Amino acid sequence: MTPRDNDLAIRLAKAGSRTAASAKPPLPAAGSQAPETGVTMPKGTSVRTKTVRVTTDLSPRDYRTLVKFCSEAAGDLAVARVPHSVAVRLLIERLSTDRTMQLALIEEIRAAKA
């Protein structure tokens, strides 16, 4: 297991054990300032506070891949299960920060269109 894989495994374990109490504090209301962060929201600005549901259909092969990964991750982490949603959320988070992954995905999308 590489250090990066180990980091992902740790984050999977933490994400799976999160509770509502460990959620990030809400952003301040429009026109007010949060003392702990110093963030001031402009008046008339609304902040999305509800999660957004995304639904996609997976091929049987892709679904089996996801199930297999979550099962193996649960074994590596010595937990009963790793929810599919946790794995998908962490993949999205990784995609948002990993420029190499972004570029590779863009190339795959380009190739699929051709």
pTM of the predicted structure, to 2 decimals: 0.57
Residue position matching structure tokens 């999205």? 92
pLDDT, tens digit, 9 for 90 and up, residues 59-69 = 999 999 999 99
| pLDDT given for residue 11 in this prediction | 75
Residue at token pair 């963030």 = 39
Give the pLDDT of residue 20. Answer: 44
User: What is the rounded average pLDDT of the residues 87-112?
Assistant: 95
Q: What's the pLDDT score for residue 50? A: 86
- pLDDT on residue 82: 96
Break the chain into its structural domains and give their ranges: 3-14+52-113
Count how many Cα atoms sit within 13 Å of the Cα of residue 11 in the half-sphere of its side chain.
14
3-state secondary structure of 3: helix
- What pLDDT, on the 0 to 100 scale, is given for residue 24? 55
3-state secondary structure of 53: coil
pLDDT tens per residue, range 1-48: 566 666 777 777 777 655 444 455 555 555 555 555 566 666 666 777
